[in-house]
Chain A
Amino acid sequence: MSGDIGYDEERVGALLRRLPPAPAGWVQAAQELPQWRRSLDDVVARAEADLAFRDALVADLEAALEQEGYEPDLRLIAELRGRYRKR
């Protein structure tokens, strides 16, 4: 039953217990990373090509994003706020 290898069912059960699921919200946010990174790259590229859009971002970031149909992702907003600040 218990091997010479050092595993028995009690040890296996105890080890399974050590890895409960991470909070679902955290996992989802991490899985959505590629999407918001694409949105970020998209917004930055547009802002570089379109001064009016860039000005709109500086004036009112959330409104400008909403206007253009971007999802109100908090990480996206935080990242963009750092780049497009009113001076």
Chain B
Amino acid sequence: MATDDYLDLRLSDFLESLAEGGRAPGGGSAAAFTVALAAGLVAMVARSSRGSWKEASAVGAQATSLLRRIVPLVRTDADAWEDALEELRAAAEGVRADVLEQKLEGAAAIPVLIAEAAVDAALLGQLAAERGDGSYRADAAVAAVLAAAAAEAAAHLVEVNLAVREDDPRLAQARAGAEAAAGAAARALDAAR
């Protein structure tokens, strides 16, 4: 399945594409998609809370902006990962170390962005769980939990990428983000109970 088609696919076709063996989309795209789900849920909670929450529309604005930021990364991650995979296959035949390093760098950059967006979604989910309309707080908590999972997933992808070493600041940043997102999710769950 050509990666440029992802965003126009029916959900069932995208899921089928995800399940296909040996190629993108993979974990990064799935993590980005999860952040998109979380952002979408927060936007829903915000829109449903306009009657009771003065800043609901403003939070909805942030959630929809985040959605627009993250959706392209579903595809971008797949593209970067396909690129890197091709280079890894080529490297098995004849080493092009500098090109491989460059492709892996590219592949590492996207999960960093996904991780940051995931933290944002978790924080917004927490806010919505604390202030949103009572009927929708559980949805906000779900959003925060999904986002925290995506943050953890993205941090893992940053970690396992061959271009990222243990002392790479991006790794520390991604891990700190996953921790922050987990904290936000815990508070969101508390607020929604």
Contacts and interface: CB of A to CB of B under 8 A. Distances in A.
A17 B68 contact: yes
Determine the interface band of chain B, counting residues with CB < 8 A from chain A.
10 to 19
A17 B64 CA distance: 11
Contacts, number: 26
Interface residues of A, number: 9
A14 B64 contact: yes
Interface in B59-86: 60-62, 64-65, 68
Q: Choose among B50, B54, B57, B58 the residue with the greatest number of A CB atoms under 10 Å from its CB.
A: B57
A10 B64 contact: yes
A13 B50 CA distance: 16
Contacts of B65: 13-14, 17
Interface string B141-175: 00000000000000000000000000000000000
A8 B68 CA distance: 18
A9 B58 contact: yes
A13 B62 contact: yes
Nearest to B51: A1
Contacts of A1: 50, 54, 56-57
A13 B54 contact: no
Contacts of A12: 61
Contacts of A67: none
A2 interface: yes
Contacts of B58: 9, 13
A2 B57 contact: yes
